[in-house]
Amino acid sequence: MELIIPEAGLIIWQVIIFVLVVFILGKFAWKPILAALKARENSIEQALQSAEQARQEMEKLQANNEKLIREAKEERDQMLKDAAGIANQIKEEARDEASKITEKMIEDARSTIETEKKAALSEIKNQVAELSLQISEKLLRKNLEDDKSQKALIDEYVKEVKLN
């Protein structure tokens, strides 16, 4: 039974040794252990705070990246829209320029045709005048073959000169 129920002296010595061990541990070991636990707790808290800050920064960066991507898409769309507008403008300018060139060519052709027409008419008039002169010369020669008709023509001209 001794093993089951210890004697009073043994209990007292065990209590004294326990109190002494607790006092020595409290004096020398607990402060460093508590300080180490406190430091460990602080480092864990700081690590959690750092992780939270990193998570928040990642969210900000992700939002910023999404914003940049959206802006880049908008800029790309605007550039495509501007390029299409410029292409249409260039096409329209080319079409207008082609119309102007065509109109100028037609006007030049009309001018050339008119000039050639006038030249042809002038040449025809000259030929008609020359033919008329030739016909008149032949008629006058035939009419003025004798002296009487020549004198009558001269008298007629003299009368006309006197009247004028």
pLDDT digit string, tens, across residues 50-105? 999 999 999 999 999 999 999 999 999 999 999 999 999 999 999 999 999 999 99
Domain count for the chain, please give it. 1
Place of tokens 């939270």: 52
Domain assignment present for residue 52? The answer is: yes
Domain assignment present for residue 41? The answer is: yes
Handedness of CA 123, 124, 130, 133 (dihedral sign): negative
CB atoms within 10 A of CB 145: 10
Domain that residue 81 falls in:
8-123
